[in-house]
Every structure is written in structure tokens, then in C-alpha cells.
Amino acid sequence: MKAVILAGGFGTRISEESHLRPKPMIEIGDMPILWHIMKIFSAQGVNDFVICCGYKQHIIKEFFANYYLHSSDVTFDLSNNTIQEHCNYSEPWRVTVVDTGLNTMTGGRVKRIGRYLDDEPFFLTYGDGVSDVDINALLAFHKGHGKLATLTAVNAGQKFGVLGMGENNRIDAFREKRDADGSLINGGFMVLDPKVLDYIEGDSTVLEREPLEALATEGQLMAYRHEGYWQCMDTQRDKEQLEKLWASGDAPWRIWK
């Protein structure tokens, strides 16, 4: 099963860092947050990834092109112009990096990578959020209800749009926040049937608007409630908080050894 990661936006809210690199390549510790997200999936058995790139996409491609070299001990024999790699520690990942366009919206990016998907459900998440979500339980929940789409509902502050929740964890509507709202939001870590791509018109389609709104109206969108840790890196302050957790040695999203 594949995990698709949205990594193509401009990251304007964290421009202190994103003017140099794509937001998913901003580092927590000494590794990009994209790597942390992939480790969350890999620790739970998912090692096949499709990365939807756009802004400064060459940086993401170069990261994976050099990953094997950078994760190995290396002997450079300059006299013979040879390189010998030792003790490689790289993960068993298969990574498809796709340039989905500079200004393409989230839905359009997913539509563009359709040819790289199999005829089965796939995971989809954002390239700036980490969590200790149990993706196997998420997948089991998705298969159990038989609908086209599942997203992970998490608790967070009210700077995001909120979910209109009905009975049995069915999502009735997507809408903007109101003062009286609670804090249940879309935390990404979705499972989508390939048929969801039929709800996406083209590059200008925002996934969280027309496609998910239509799925909600049709009763095809469900919420998996995650009560554990979740945090997105939306601002420089968010980055600093994640850095502190990682440096402490007790980062909640580090579910791998």
C-alpha cells in the first residue's frame, strides 16, 4: 500500500525557512520533517511513497538521490577516482518524487499522481504534520465502514477550519471555524479510495473544498478519531516546539527505534 505526501506548497507562514527550501524539507533535528513523516509510516509497515512536489522540487529530488550516500560510511579513493560505501543504514523505501506543478492546489496534486497509484486505497497526508497515529488501526477503520474516504480527526487550536460531525463518525460538512466550535480538525493521515480522484476537476481544485465537501454530502467521508499526539509545523514557533521535543529525546511521534 502506498503513502502519498503533499509536499508542493510555498510554506508562506514559515517564510523564515521556506524561502530557502520547500516546507517539508525544513529540518527537525538534523532531518527534514518529510523524513520524520515517512519514518512514522515505515515504522508501521508502509515503505512505498509518492511525494507530490512543486515549489523548489529539485531539493526534494536531490535529497533522495543522495540519501544512500549520506546514510553510509564512505571511502573516497582519490587516486583511482572510486567510492566505496560501507555500513549503509538507509531505510527500505521506494520513493516516487513527482513534480505536480508550482501553483497546483492540493486536489490537483493528488489528481496528477493518479498514474502512480495502484487499484487499491492509499494513504494521503500533509508534508508538515507529525503524529503517533496508528495507521494500521486507521486502515482497519476505513475498510470496516466501506466508504470512499477517511480522514484523521485530531484536537487542535482554532486556527483551522472545523469538521461538522454526525453520527457514527460520519462527516456531514467542512466549514470555517466559529467562536462556539470545539477543536476537532482534519489532521491529514487520510485513507482514500482511487475513486476519490473522480471528484477532483483539475489543478485549481483544493482537495479540502469541493472534493471532500461533496464526499461529505454524499455520506462517503468518515473520521477516525485520534486522541494521541498530533502537531503541524505551520509557523516558526511550531518548528521550535518540535525541535525542543526532538532534542529532549522524548518526541511523541518517534514511534520507531
Long-range contacts of 31-36 (CB under 8 A, 24+ apart): 32/63, 33/127, 33/128, 33/130, 33/233, 33/242, 34/5, 34/7, 34/60, 34/127, 36/130, 36/253, 36/254
Q: Which residue has the cell 466550535?
A: 181
Phi first, then psi, for residue 69 (nearest 5°) are: -65, -45
User: Which residue is associated with the grid cell 477532483?
Assistant: 200
Given a cut of 70, is residue 34 above it in pLDDT?
yes
Averaged pLDDT for residues 170-189? 68
What percent of the chain is modeled with pLDDT above 90? 79
Q: Quick one: average pLDDT of 11-36? A: 90
pLDDT in tens, 67-92: 988 888 999 999 999 999 887 778 99
Q: Are 72 and 85 in contact (CB under 8 A)?
A: yes
* C-alpha cell, 10: 510555498
The three three-digit cell numbers of residue 75, written as one number: 571511502
What is the residue-averaged pLDDT of the chain?
91
* Rounded Cα distance, 205 and 97, in Å: 21
Pairwise CA distance, residues 77 & 32, whole Å: 30
Q: What is the pLDDT of residues 96-141, one digit of tens each?
A: 999 999 999 999 999 999 999 999 999 999 999 999 999 999 999 9
Where residue 157 falls (left for φ over 0; alpha for ψ -120 to 50; beta otherwise) is: beta
Domains in the chain: boundaries: 2-248
Residues 12-21 pLDDT 10s: 778 777 788 9
CATH architecture of 2-248: Alpha-Beta Complex (3.90)
Query: Pick the residue with more confidence: 235 or 183?
Result: 235
